Structure 1
Amino acid sequence: MLIDTHAHLQDKALKADLKEVLKRAKEAGVKKIICIGYDYPTSVEAVELARKYEGIYAVVGVHPHDAKELDEETLDKLYQLAREEKVVAVGEIGLDYYRNLSPREKQKEAFIAQIKLAREAGKPVVIHDRDAHQEVLDIIKKEKAGLNGGVMHCYSGYLPMAIELMKEGFYISFAGPVTFNNARKTVEVAANIPLERMLIETDCPYLAPEPVRGKRNEPAYVSYVAGKIAEIKRKSWEEVAYITSLNAEKVFHLR
């Protein structure tokens, strides 16, 4: 069994043929998919998909790109969503200093507010970090963001940070970029942390792995990520699939 721990199934790139996408995922051995929101409307859509399809679970939250739009009313509505039965985490939340689509102070405020929301809801967090490694780590430590468990999605940091994150209760998730030829830093992290603290994901429809790089990504392609991790760790594909699925079930409390 495989679990794609980070997919945007509600994205317009997947809507037209979602049933076929889900069928291909099932045929590839992907039994469970975590559908991630990135603002309030897409969080609602994630919940609706989780209600509709067996094996799909939702994560609700506001991405740092939209942090400037997060107000008390939206936080209240997110809290109500977070209490739904098939909502398994709050995310994706964090900081993005690469595109800076929201002011950095607003990003920090939204990040901290949603960590507190997750704590109140008793849910883990799914974190987005781009070019903001130290600030993300500082906030995680100060706010005890890993209290209910957490996932650093599509990990792009260095090994020392990954070690610190694991001490804080986080799992490190790898997506398509670990398969890229220039992924030396990410490969080093994957080689040096325990398989028992690793997750795999697609981040579809983005970041398609080799050998489908450049195409629309979809959950079936998480199989390629599993294959690359197996190569790096010198394990069988089956062992990687089994252990990363156990890890996902543990952090997200999947049934």
Structure 2
Amino acid sequence: MADTTDTFDEFLPEALRFCSPAPLVDIGANLTHASFARDLEATLRRAWAANVTTLILTGTDREHAEQAVALARRHPGLHATAGVHPHDASRWDTAQEAAMRALHRQPEVVAVGECGLDFNRNFSTPTEQERAFEAQLGLAAESGKPLFLHERDAGRRLREMLHAWRDDIADAVVHCFTADRETLYGYLDLDLHIGLTGWLCDERRGHHLRALVGEIPLDRLMVETDCPYLLPRNLPAKLKGRRHEPALLPWIVREIAHWRGMPETELAQATTATARAFFRLDETIDDHHALEEGHRDG
């Protein structure tokens, strides 16, 4: 007899089945993570049902960037980034550079990264990180594509390196921003974009962000899950497995709108417009219907 037991693979609890009042772009979804292998199609269907119509899949190294490109080719509404994360900067060499350059030529790749500096964990040394980041700044200048940036405890050095390249690179977003007011304004002074995640929903460490979200200009603000990581801690129901996914992005948008003191619909519309312009997505494509058709065909 078939097992009819409800599983996390097949559904979200009723209390977590959100639907955004306007289409959303999740600018940071790690859908090449192994935890999505078992139910990727269902994950995408849940995202569509939540009105999360466009997903930017994060490529943190050659393998995951190539997987992200392959997924973007299969599913309308999906796009990819390609870069080497600072944790893996020790692996940067001429072969990695050539592979990234080739990936950046692919139409599915809409940004260079995830790249940057992480002086919190230092899985690669600061010197190795700066070398890999400098090279990827050069690739961004060469390709003309925007930057998808990672930074932890390295704001000053990241700003110094970006400042030297700022006239040569296009737009750049500091994804999953968690730093302080001084760092925020340093990024805004460089005309950078800011990506916010469910970190804001964490009562242990997200309080300072709640006071800062209103200071980010709407045309610089984008939203993301960074799934499967950073599951919001204040969800109205428990989630089996504790895996974050794009369908929960409307909850994060709702929280940001609350702390900004503005309507959720207005924030959704603004962040989507900003993301589509930043990643240069074709606004004539109706991703909502394209994603639906992709699921029907799949």
Q: Indicate the SS of the match to 1:49.
A: helix
The 8 Å contact of residues 37 and 91 in structure 1, kept in 2 or not, is answered as yes
Between the aligned partners of 2:144 and 2:35, the Cα distance in structure 1 is 32
Gaps of 5+ in 2: 1-22, 283-298
Aligned length: 255
Between the aligned partners of 1:168 and 1:87, the Cα distance in structure 2 is 24
Residues 159-198 of structure 1: pairs in structure 2 closer than 5 A: 159-182=181-204, 183-198=206-221
1:145: how far off? 7.5
Larger of the two Rg values belongs to structure: 2
Going from structure 1 to structure 2, the CA distance change for 1:146 and 1:219 (only over 3 Å counts) comes to farther
Residue from 198, 207, 224 that aligns with 2:230: 207
1:73: how far off? 1.3
Between the aligned partners of 2:212 and 2:139, the Cα distance in structure 1 is 30
Correspondence 1:65 to 2:92: no
TM-score, with structure 1 as normaliser = 0.96
Q: Indicate the SS of the match to 1:190.
A: helix
Identity over the aligned pairs, expressed in percent? 35
How large is the Cα RMSD of the aligned pairs? 1.4
Between the aligned partners of 1:166 and 1:147, the Cα distance in structure 2 is 15
Residue from 64, 87, 90 that aligns with 2:112: 90
Q: CA offsets per residue over residues 89-121 of structure 1, 9 Å max, x none? A: 011101111211111100011011101101101
Residue from 224, 237, 250 that aligns with 2:264: 237
Aligned-partner residue type, residue 197 of structure 1:
R
Aligned-partner residue type, residue 153 of structure 1:
H
Residues 1-255 of structure 1: pairs in structure 2 closer than 5 A: 1-144=23-166, 147-182=169-204, 183-209=206-232, 210-211=234-235, 215-255=242-282
Between the aligned partners of 2:39 and 2:82, the Cα distance in structure 1 is 23
The 8 Å contact of residues 207 and 217 in structure 1, kept in 2 or not, is answered as yes
1:143: how far off? 2.2
Going from structure 1 to structure 2, the CA distance change for 1:145 and 1:126 (only over 3 Å counts) comes to farther
Which protein has greater RCO, CA pairs closer than 8 Å, 6+ apart?
2
Between the aligned partners of 2:265 and 2:24, the Cα distance in structure 1 is 9
Going from structure 1 to structure 2, the CA distance change for 1:83 and 1:90 (only over 3 Å counts) comes to same
Q: CA offsets per residue over residues 30-55 of structure 1, 9 Å max, x none? A: 00000001111001001111111000
Moved more, 197-206 or 185-194: 185-194
